[in-house]
Amino acid sequence: MGSDHPGAPGGTPRTPHPVPPGQHRVHGWPVSHYGPVPRFRPERWNLRVHGATATGREQVWTLGELGALPHVTMTADLHCATGPTSTDHEWYGIPAGAVLDLVPPAPDVTHVMAWAEYGYAANLRLRDFATPRTLLATHHNGESLTAEHGFPLRLVVPHLYGYKSAKWLRAVEYLTEDRRGFWEERGYHTVGDAWQEQRYSYQEQEEDGAAPAAHRPH
C-alpha cells in the first residue's frame, strides 16, 4: 500500500473518518509485533478449534479446507494501543461467526483465546469474537498477507486494539471464563475496546472479566 493514499476506486477522495480517542493516524502500514516472524511450514500448518466446544470434540482444518469456508471482504482501521492507527485496510477472510456456526461453543462459553505461533495469545469476549466484523483474514488489499503481517492467517478485530488481532493464528480456544493473553498479562486491558480507550489493565472494572494479571507493571 502506498503512503499517499490514492483513495477509493474511481478517484473519489477517501472520506475522512474519526480515529479512536488518543490515537493518531499514520500513513502506510507499520509492522508491529513481539519476537521474530515465524516461518510458514505448509506440511505442519493447521487451524485448531478446541476447548469448550458443544460436542466436546475439537476441529482441525488445513489451509486448503479453510478455503471452502464462507469468505467476506471488510474495510477497517488498525489501532495499535501505543497510539498509531493505520487506516483503510481491506481485509478478506472467514467471518469468526462462521467458525462459531461450524464448531458451536458450549452454552457456558464466555470468551475465546486466539492462539498464534510461538505461544502468542489474545483473549476476547465471545461477543467481540462473534461480531460480523471479526475476521480470520487471509488477504489484505487483494493480496495474500505478507509474512510480517501474519501469513497465512491472522485475526482482525477492528473495534479492539491491535494486540487482539493475532497474526499467525493457529488456534481458537473456547473458554468458560476469561483468561489473560500475552499483552493482557503485561499490563494491557483484558477487553481492549479502542473506542472506549481501554488501553491498560489498571483501567479494568469488575465487569470486564479476567482476574488481574499476577504481575502488574508499576
Ligand X SMILES: Nc1nc2c(c(=O)[nH]1)N[C@H]1C(S)=C(S)[C@@H](COP(=O)(O)O)O[C@H]1N2
Neighbouring-strand partners of residue 82:
none
Task: Establish if 167 lies at the interface with ligand X (CB under 6 A).
Answer: yes
Give me the phi and psi of 133, to 5 degrees please: -90, 0
Smallest gap, in angstroms, from Cβ of residue 188 to Mo ion? Answer: 9
Give me the phi and psi of 127, to 5 degrees please: -65, -30
Smallest gap, in angstroms, from Cβ of residue 161 to ligand X? Answer: 7
Among 6, 8, 21, 31, binds ligand X (CB under 6 A): 31
Give the range of 10-18, 30-38, 43-51, 190-198 binding ligand X by CB under 6 A.
Answer: 30-38
Smallest gap, in angstroms, from Cβ of residue 56 to ligand X? Answer: 28
Site for Mo ion in 66-125 (CB under 5 A): 80
Smallest gap, in angstroms, from Cβ of residue 29 to ligand X? Answer: 6
Smallest gap, in angstroms, from Cβ of residue 33 to ligand X? Answer: 3
Binding partner selected for residue 30 from ligand X, Mo ion, none, CB under the kind-specific 5 to 8 Å limit: ligand X
Among 1, 80, 126, 147, binds ligand X (CB under 6 A): 80
Task: Establish if 162 lies at the interface with Mo ion (CB under 5 A).
Answer: yes
- Measured from each CB, the residue nearest to Mo ion is 80
Determine the straight-line distance between the first and last CA of the chain, rounded to whole angstroms: 38
Specify whether the CB–CB gap between 93 and 137 falls below 8 A.
yes
Helix (H, G, I), strand (E, B) or coil at 150: coil
Among 66, 78, 136, 210, binds ligand X (CB under 6 A): 78
- Identify each DSSP E strand in the chain by its residue range: 24-26, 47-51, 59-61, 72-79, 84-95, 111-116, 121-125, 135-140, 143-144, 154-156, 169-175
Q: Sheet containing 111-116: which strands, arranged edge to edge?
A: 59-61, 47-51, 169-175, 111-116, 121-125
CA distances 146 to 60, 138, 151, 201, Å, are 23, 10, 5, 31
Q: Under the rule (CB under 6 A), what is the footprint of ligand X?
A: 29-34, 78, 80, 116, 120, 149, 162-163, 165-168
